[in-house]
Amino acid sequence: MRGGTLAAGLVLVLATACAGQTPPRARPGGASAAAPAVCAPPKGGAPPGAERPTTIDVVGQAYRCVLARYYGAATLDHRTLLTAGFAAFVTELNRAGRDLPEAAMPALTGDRTADWAAFEAAYRRVIDRLPRDDALRARLAAATLEAIVAALGDDHARWEHGTPRPPGAYDGDQYGLGLTASARPADAPGTALPPLFVTAVPGGPARAAGVRPGDVVESVDGSAPFVGTQVTPAVVAALHPRYPQAAPVRLRLLRPDTGRRRTVTLKPRLFQPDPDTLPVVAAGLLAGDVAHVRMSGFAPDSADRVLRAIARLRTGRTLAGVVLDLRGNGGGSPGEVNRLLGGFAHGAVTAYQCAADGSCETMRTDDTVPLVGLPLVVLTDRGCASACEHFSAAVKDLRLGRLVGTRTAGAVSGPAQPYALGDNTVLAFPSRHHLAPGREVIDRVGVPPDVHVPLTPRDAAAGRDPALAAALNLLHP
C-alpha cells in the first residue's frame, strides 16, 4: 500500500491486527499478503526458521506490539517513536547516498492508528523511488525499527536480530579487547566519573599488550574519554567492540604508580578469558571466618550454588558472616533472586511487578529455602543491574544486611517479555514495571549503598579492594 492511498484500509488493517487478525494488504501490481500477527511469544523460546530481511510490515508489527503490550503504552506518546524512526530512516538514506525530496516526515495528529498510516505511506513513497536494492531496503527498515525501540528509553527493551557469532567461537569464549573499564557503554549519563581506568584484564589482546588494572585511559583513538566531568560515550563504546567490529583501537595509557605513559594498539579478537573469571559462583574464606561468595549472574541454579557454597565453608567452623559479591552481576532470573533471598528472610515481599493500570503482582521470598542465619554484607557497583538490583533493593528495604561499594546501575524497568516478529527476529520489552519492596522506583535511579566505597586507579593497580576491606570491618567491628 503506497502513495498515501487507501488510508482508510490501513486504519482497518492496524485496528484488526492489534486484535490478533491478519487481513489481506493491497500490494502494487495486485499482489496480496497477510500482515504479520501482533505480539505472539516465540514458540519454544526462539523464533522459527532463519532470519529474513526486515520490512516496513515488520516495523509496523513491532509498533503495534509496543502499543498493545508495553507497560507504559497507556501514557506513551507514540509520536516520539515515529519521529525517531523516521529520523533514522532518512539518516540511513543519506548514508547510502539516496536522500530524496519525498523523504519528509508526515504531519502527525495524535491518533495512533492514523499516524502510523501516514508514516507508512510516506515511507513507501520513498521506497518506490529507490532502485530495487533488497539489501538497502532491509537496512532502512532495520534502522527504523532500531530507532523506534531505542526511543522507548527502556533499559529492558531490545530488538534481537542480526547478531553473528565469531567463527570458531566456543562456549565461554569472549570477543573484544580483553579488558573492562570503570565506565561501561550501558552507564546512564552522568554516572561515570573521571578518570577512566582499567578495572580488570581477563585476557586477550589487552593482556598480551601488558595492560594492567589501574591503567588510566587518557585517550582512545586520540579522543579524550571525558570533557570536563562529562563522559564521551563513543570513547567508552570503543573499548567494548562487538563482533564483527574489528578495527584496531589505539589507547594512550598512564600507569599511576610509576607515572609511565605509553600507547598500545589492540585489535579485537576472539579469546579465552582467565578461567577465574568464568564461574557464575565462586567462593572462599576470608579472615578465617567470613564466607566470600562471588556471583556473576542470577543464572539457573545459581541461588542453590551460593547456598551450598556457604554451607561448605561453614562446615567445621563458626562463620562471622557472609560477604556476597555482586559487583559486575548483570542480572538474570527473578526466580533465582527470590530463592536466594529466601535464605535470609521468610514471608517477605521482594518486589512488585506492576501493570499500567496500577495492578501489581507481588514477588515473595522462597520460603522452602532454609535460613542461613548469618550477618550479610553485599558488595555492589554500577555493574550490578536488573535482577541484581532486585536483590540489592530487597536487602536494603528489608534490612537483611548492609550494601557496600557504589550505587547500582539503575537498569531494572521490568522483566523483558519476548515477542516473535514476522522476519523471525525477536522484540522484547517489559509488560510490567519493577518496584522495590517499599514500592519505590529504582529504574534509572539505582540502589545506593549503605557504605560508599569507590574503587580508584591506585587501588586497582595495587590489587587493593577497599569495598571488600570495608565489608570485613563491618563483620569484625
Number of H helices, E strands in the chain: 12, 23
What percentage of the chain has pLDDT greater than the value 90?
82
pLDDT tens, position by position, 45-78: 666 678 999 999 999 999 999 999 999 999 999 9
383-397: average pLDDT = 97
* Per-residue pLDDT at 25: 38
- Ramachandran angles phi, psi of 353, nearest 5°: -115, 110
Q: CB–CB of 177/402 below 8 Å?
A: no
CA–CA separation, 175 and 183 (whole Å): 18
The mean pLDDT of 83-107, rounded to a whole number, is 97
Q: Is the pLDDT of residue 238 over 50?
A: yes
pLDDT of the residue at 32: 35
For the chain, the average pLDDT equals 90
pLDDT at 18 over 90: no
| Beta strands per DSSP E along 143-277 | 158-160, 174-176, 180-181, 198-200, 216-220, 226-227, 230-231, 249-255, 260-266, 269-271
Lowest pLDDT segment from 17-31, 145-159, 296-310, 460-474: 17-31
Residue 79 has pLDDT above 50, yes or no: yes
- ω into 195 cis (within 30 of 0): yes
- DSSP strand pairing (260-266 vs 269-271): unpaired
* Nearest CA among 220, 219, 218 for reference residue 241: 220
Other Cβ atoms within 10 Å of 230 Cβ, number: 11
Q: Report helix, strand or coil for 376.
A: strand
Each residue's pLDDT tens digit, 341-359 = 999 999 999 999 999 888 9
H/E stretch holding 313: helix 302-314
Instruction: Give me the pLDDT at residue 30, please.
Output: 30
SS3 of 434, please? strand
Cα separation of 156 and 207, whole Å?
A: 32
Mean pLDDT of 224-230: 93
User: Of 112, 118, 15, nearest to 73 (Cα)?
Assistant: 112
pLDDT at 19: 33
Query: DSSP per residue over 226-259, as a string?
Result: EETTEE-HHHHHHTS--TT----EEEEEEETTTT
- Residue 253 near residue 206 (C-beta atoms within 8 A): no
Model confidence at 105: pLDDT above 50 = yes
Is it the case that residue 14 has pLDDT exceeding 50? no
Quick one: angle between helices 78-95 and 56-69, nearest 10?
160
pLDDT score of 5 more than 80: no
Least confidently predicted of 9-13, 304-308, 420-424: 9-13
Beta bridge partners of 402: 377
* Predicted pLDDT at 6: 29
Are the beta carbons of 214 and 460 closer than 8 angstroms?
Answer: yes
Mean pLDDT of 164-192: 88
pLDDT given at position 162:
83
Residue 216, φ and ψ in degrees, nearest 5: -85, 130
28, 332, 387, 391, 393 from 354: Cα distances, Å: 44, 19, 16, 17, 16
What pLDDT, in 10s, does the model give residues 252-276?
Answer: 999 998 999 999 999 999 999 988 7
Q: Which residue has the higher pLDDT, 140 or 356?
A: 140
Tens digit of pLDDT for each residue in 316-332? 999 999 999 999 999 99
> How far is the CA of 15 from the CAs of 60, 66, 67, 68, 119, in angstroms?
12, 14, 12, 11, 16
Global pTM value: 0.86
- Looking at the predicted structure, is the pLDDT value of residue 287 above 70? yes
Give the model's confidence band at 37: pLDDT under 50 very low, under 70 low, under 90 confident, else very high.
low
Give backbone dihedrals phi and psi of 262, rounded to 5 degrees, phi first.
Answer: -155, 165
pLDDT at 20 over 70: no
pLDDT at 381: 97
